[in-house]
A and B are shown apart, each in its own frame.
Chain A
Amino acid sequence: MPILLCRVDDRLIHGQVVVGWGAQTGLDYIAVVDDKLVQSEWEQDLYRAGLAESIEGRFLSVAEAVEWIPSLAQNTERGFILTRDIATMRQLAEQGILADIEINLGGLHDAPGRHRVLPYLFLSAEDRRELERLRRVHPSVTAQDVPSARKVELDELLESRSG
């Protein structure tokens, strides 16, 4: 099951993901798991318009992803799984379908109620609660925006009140 990156990033498909993480990996697909986006064909087309022809953009609801991700064990496609928030990734992790995959916190940007923890990671109280829930079902969670950056462990993130 070559899921090369399992990432929480509110920008979903964007430069760091496609170029920073994807350029050297020979990606077959980028899968976005998002219950809202899966209902909007035009937004899906918008994201697909930014991908190279060799990379398929897939858009799934949480329920669809729970069915689909285990089936990846049967094929050799290489891809990324993205969610825009921690809660969605936590819902996937709770199903036990991301075992042995490190969850990457790649970008949650400034918004009302959020506080800076890292230059690319701003967390609200609810984000922190979600991270605690996520940790209980999936202990392997780190923050890292680009491959060359230092990987920050979840304990360190949660100890930091602001950056």
Chain B
Amino acid sequence: MSEDVRGILVGHGKLAEGLLDAVEGIIGSREGLIPLDNADLTPEALEVRLLELVGKGPAVVFVDLPSGSCAFAARRIRAHHPRIAVVCGVNLPLVLDFAFHRTLPIEEILERLRTHVGVSIEYSTDADSSVPGR
């Protein structure tokens, strides 16, 4: 039996809490998901706080910017602890997919995040005349 995987969202401003608020609004639960914002924390304090939340793992730490202090804190922890994943560029589809599948083994969750949840960009220089306008 696999352990439930913790999901920790670490972001700038109120991004983490905002994403969890959106998750709860969509699926009615934020179980297994924990927000952490980096405001006013030294790098050391952020790392200590994040380590408390990660516990013994397994855990997926979702961060916003690859070059942000949140990402560096998460990478420091990952360097010293097994079964901790760091996912940069967090967005709502990523967190929702995680929330639905967090009882899977962490390796399967990460494979899902890599392959199932992409960024969709839709663009055209022409309007589609077959679509009725409002």
Residues of A within 8 A of B (CB): 10-15, 17-19, 42-43, 46-47, 49-52, 109-111, 119
Contacts and interface: CB of A to CB of B under 8 A. Distances in A.
A19 B75 contact: no
B45 to A, nearest CB: 7
Contacts of B45: 109-111
Nearest to A43: B76
Interface residues of B, number: 17
Interface in B48-93: 64-69, 71-72, 75-76, 79
B130 interface: no
B40 A50 contact: no
A49 B72 CA distance: 9
A50 B68 contact: yes
A11 B67 contact: no
Contacts of B40: 109-110, 119
Given A109-B40, A110-B40, A110-B42, A42 B79 contact: yes
Chain A contact residues, majority secondary structure: loop
Contacts of A14: 67-69, 72
Contacts of B12: 15
Contacts of B42: 10-11, 109-111
A108 to B, nearest CB: 8
Contacts of B75: 46, 49-50
> Max chain A CB contacts within 10 Å: which of B64, B67, B69?
B67
A47 B72 contact: yes
Contact of B72 (A13, A19, A52, A111): A13
Contacts, number: 54
Nearest to B12: A15
Interface in B32-52: 40-43, 45
7 contacts: A15-B65, A15-B67, A18-B67, A46-B76, A50-B66, A50-B67, A109-B42
A109 to B, nearest CB: 4
Nearest to B41: A109
Contacts of B68: 14-15, 18, 50
Nearest to A51: B67
Given A15-B67, A17-B67, 4 more contacts: A12-B43, A13-B72, A15-B65, A43-B76
Interface string B16-34: 0000000000000000000
Contacts of A110: 40-42, 45
A25 to B, nearest CB: 14
A15 B45 CA distance: 17
Nearest to B68: A15
A19 B64 CA distance: 12
